[in-house]
Structure 1
Amino acid sequence: MSSRLISRYIAGLLLWPSLLIAFSLTGIVWLMQALRFVDFIINRGLSVGDFLYLTMLILPSLLNMILPIALLIAVIFVYHKLYAESELAAMQASGLSRWQLARGALWGCAVVLLITYAHTLYLLPTANRKFKDMKEFLKDNYASILLQEQVFNHPADGVTVFIRQRLEDGKLQGILVHDNRNPEVTVTMMADEATLTQTAAGSRFLLTHGIRQEMRNRQITWLNFDRYTLDIRFFTQKSMQRERGESEQYISELFHDGGNDDVLQRNKRYAEGHQRILWPWFSFALPLVAMALLISGEFNRRGMWKRLAVIAGASLAQLLAFFGLINLMVKTPFLVVVSYGFVLVLIVGSIIILTRAHLWVKQPPEHMACEG
């Protein structure tokens, strides 16, 4: 059987486990993240459409991290299965080298590399931008959604909002608003109920049956009202001035020197940029290291569990070392060279092991073969 057919055979075996593991892990993590927003639907009036839109925007960041790990698990599963059923031994006995046996997985590595780069270069920052913009939109237009009950909320510096209870129809009961942004004029309002309304000028709180207290020049004035319209620009003012975070910037923006950033902020952007460049290459590094460890040495089923434990430990060590270097890069920029070298050593070292190491099927001594 030719090496090309073997590569196609192994690539076919990897396809469905990779997809199943990727979708399963993504679904589990997505569900855990989505549960954080369920309260906004049940108790705060967020629509199901907005909920689905917000949670869908989480998917690119999840897939970006999960795809290389899902491929790693699939490679370990498939090659262990081939190892345990002696298929690898039969392929090796037919004259195929370990590199030819590993080549079938490289097609999957290349596909995941391209998909992951599509995420890091475009999909990830685009989704993060839309996610943050959606949160700001909800904050601006549905401010009551973000206000928690029985908690002193601080939607902006100098503004405190307290809500006793939220009704099913969206009305708020027992509301207190304290505005201390202007030290010379402090305003406190208390009302029995409040309703969020939309006007041509923007969102407003309609307060009913309450008191407005204003302190100016150490003089307190009181105003009893049946209906009072409160401008909630304390929500929108902050969002209008919002700057894009590192996760929202494209790769060209991360490496652009604006000239106004401090050193720490610039290093954070650079670290984010280098992480996006390097992370997709773990689509090759993780599976290659696993294959180099799995099909090296002697063919021995009894020692397989030890080899799997070593592979799991090595994979975890790779991930911890990489993200550790990325975090340290913020304060120690020269570690960027170490990070690139680390990924290069993992890939090249694994290829060398797979192409040049001794045969992993133990051969009998020459004199014994002659006697036989």
Structure 2
Amino acid sequence: MHSRYASSPEPGSLQIRWTDGGPPGYLWASRPQQLGPMPSITRYVLGQLMTATLFVTLALTFAIWLTQSLRLIDYIVNRGLPASTFLTFVALLLPSFLGVVLPVACFVAALFVYHKLAMDSEMVVMRAAGLSQMQLARPAIILGVVVTLAVYAISLYFLPASFRNFKDLQNAFRSDFSAVLLQEGVFTTITDEITVYVRERSPEGELRGILVHDNRDPDKPVTMMAERGALVASEAGPRVVMENGNRQEVQPGTGRFSLLYFDRYTVELADFDNAPRARWREPKERFLPELLNPGDDGRDQRYRLELIAEGHHRIVGPLYSLVFVVIGMAALLAGEFNRRGQAKRVLAAIACVAALEGISLALHDLANRHVAAIPAMYATVAISLGLAFFVLLRRPARRPQEPLAGAQTA
């Protein structure tokens, strides 16, 4: 066995203690110059984290966006929705996707980048350079804080604003008779009292083969059929004008059938036109003050707990972005380095995040019925974050007389 010792350290060098069975010796090795100062390492790791987060976010958002957009295809195929309006619909759904995707993307990016650094031995070099657990986790924590602030902006403003516009546009489109009656060959129930069927619609907007069943007066239901007609707007509201048709009615007392032929007949639909104006705002459409302080409206009082639970979920939910990242760092950085890989630690972090996400959803659902579950929503985040930081910052106990990797020489 042959050993070589340096009599004195060089400026900026590292001291590594080693032994080959005899007296312990010291090896002096120069610090890697490519690491640079601590802020440079933070920028290096943070750059990789942000790139990975952006990629995962785009991938997940596109996948969810595509599945949700398929529900709106009906508006294009059957109702003639313009492509520009369809894109507006889809764009307004984007904030609701990002609020769910960003915390998961941040967690996945942190696991991927730090696992890659460990497998490429970059993490070993950083530890040898004297970086502590907190210094190693600093880039991921910075990313977690940035994502948390972004999710807060989405949750408190962009989500209710976009979802409110989406529901208003959807409601206005459904209330547009020219779109509703364009469903050729389909019996369309406009309201509980009116059903319309159109066999064909010409390019000029003329309706052909019209059938209208009017049951607004339950004692005198009326069925009207016409060869052609049109939907027109008036100051009193929308109306269907039919030509060359008949009006069929059955007398309720006698059961006598009466048939009236007409050259021109008009059906007023003003009542339906007024219906959408009194639409109740759903919880996702409301801003935080509207959720925490429901109004005196009957439906607001009926769904009071649901509104309050949604408000507290808007406050607690974004914090999971930071919690997920710290859990990932605690799993990958705590303990000693294992050259066989970190698959078990990665799986453990994923299991913890999945369980925590399930608990969050369960508590949110429970808070819709019991106000006592609201404090548990805050407690879950605080306890999870505290335990994750405890595991991350604690010092692992080293086994006695354990040589450092790479310290022996032959």
So what's the TM-score if we normalise by structure 2? 0.81
- Count of residue pairs the alignment pairs up: 369
In the other structure, the counterpart of 2:63 is: 28
Farther-moved stretch of structure 1 (207-216 vs 165-174): 165-174
Contact 2:103 2:320 in 1 (8 A): yes
Q: Distance in 1 between matches of 2:401 and 2:259?
A: 105
Per the TM alignment, residue 371 of structure 1 is displaced from its structure 2 partner at its CA by 11
Matched, 1:283 2:317: no
Matched, 1:91 2:129: no
Q: Distance in 2 between matches of 1:153 and 1:101?
A: 62
In the other structure, the counterpart of 1:253 is: 290
Candidates 191, 203, 211, aligned match of 2:238: 203
Matched, 1:153 2:188: yes
* Structure 1 counterpart SS, 2:81: coil
Structure ID, larger Rg: 2
Deviations 1:303-331 (A, max 9, x none): 52222222222221111110111011111
Q: Distance in 2 between matches of 1:42 and 1:108?
A: 42
Per the TM alignment, residue 58 of structure 1 is displaced from its structure 2 partner at its CA by 0.7
Q: Distance in 2 between matches of 1:23 and 1:368?
A: 45
CA RMSD across the alignment: 2.8
Contact 1:254 1:269 in 2 (8 A): yes
Contact 1:45 1:145 in 2 (8 A): no
Q: Distance in 1 between matches of 2:402 and 2:287?
A: 65
Distance 1:144 1:158, change over 3 A: same
Matched, 1:114 2:149: yes
Matched, 1:336 2:371: no
Matches within 5 A, 1:183-222: 183-215=218-250, 218=253, 220-222=257-259
Matches within 5 A, 1:255-270: 255-261=292-298, 265-270=303-308
In the other structure, the counterpart of 2:385 is: 347
Per the TM alignment, residue 189 of structure 1 is displaced from its structure 2 partner at its CA by 2.2
Per the TM alignment, residue 185 of structure 1 is displaced from its structure 2 partner at its CA by 3.1
Matched, 1:293 2:328: no
In the other structure, the counterpart of 2:365 is: 327
The residue type equivalent to 2:366 in the other structure is L
Distance 1:208 1:298, change over 3 A: farther
Distance 1:114 1:166, change over 3 A: farther
5+ unaligned residues in a row in structure 2: which ranges? Answer: 1-35
Q: Distance in 2 between matches of 1:217 and 1:85?
A: 85
Matches within 5 A, 1:46-125: 46-125=81-160
In the other structure, the counterpart of 1:272 is: 310
Per the TM alignment, residue 231 of structure 1 is displaced from its structure 2 partner at its CA by 2.9
Distance 1:288 1:233, change over 3 A: farther
So what's the TM-score if we normalise by structure 1? 0.88
Distance 1:34 1:260, change over 3 A: closer
In the other structure, the counterpart of 1:230 is: 267
The residue type equivalent to 1:271 in the other structure is A
Distance 1:150 1:289, change over 3 A: farther
Q: Distance in 2 between matches of 1:55 and 1:244?
A: 20
Contact 2:78 2:182 in 1 (8 A): no
Deviations 1:53-86 (A, max 9, x none): 1111111111111111111111111111111112
The residue type equivalent to 2:355 in the other structure is A
Per the TM alignment, residue 186 of structure 1 is displaced from its structure 2 partner at its CA by 1.9
Deviations 1:191-246 (A, max 9, x none): 34454334444433343443223456546543323443333335423202211111
5+ unaligned residues in a row in structure 1: which ranges? Answer: none
The residue type equivalent to 1:158 in the other structure is E
Deviations 1:16-50 (A, max 9, x none): 11111112211221122222222322332211221
Q: Distance in 2 between matches of 1:146 and 1:88?
A: 65
Deviations 1:72-110 (A, max 9, x none): 111111111111112112212221111111110122112
Contact 2:76 2:83 in 1 (8 A): yes
Q: Distance in 2 between matches of 1:319 and 1:367?
A: 39
In the other structure, the counterpart of 1:3 is: 38
Q: Distance in 1 between matches of 2:71 and 2:233?
A: 27
Farther-moved stretch of structure 1 (322-331 vs 202-211): 202-211
Identify, as 1 or 2, the structure richer in helix: 1
Per the TM alignment, residue 126 of structure 1 is displaced from its structure 2 partner at its CA by 0.9
* Structure 2 counterpart SS, 1:291: helix
The residue type equivalent to 1:136 in the other structure is N
Contact 2:210 2:228 in 1 (8 A): yes
The residue type equivalent to 2:315 in the other structure is I
Q: Distance in 1 between matches of 2:89 and 2:175?
A: 16
Q: Distance in 2 between matches of 1:169 and 1:309?
A: 62
Contact 1:43 1:166 in 2 (8 A): no
Farther-moved stretch of structure 1 (151-160 vs 262-271): 151-160
Per the TM alignment, residue 118 of structure 1 is displaced from its structure 2 partner at its CA by 1.2
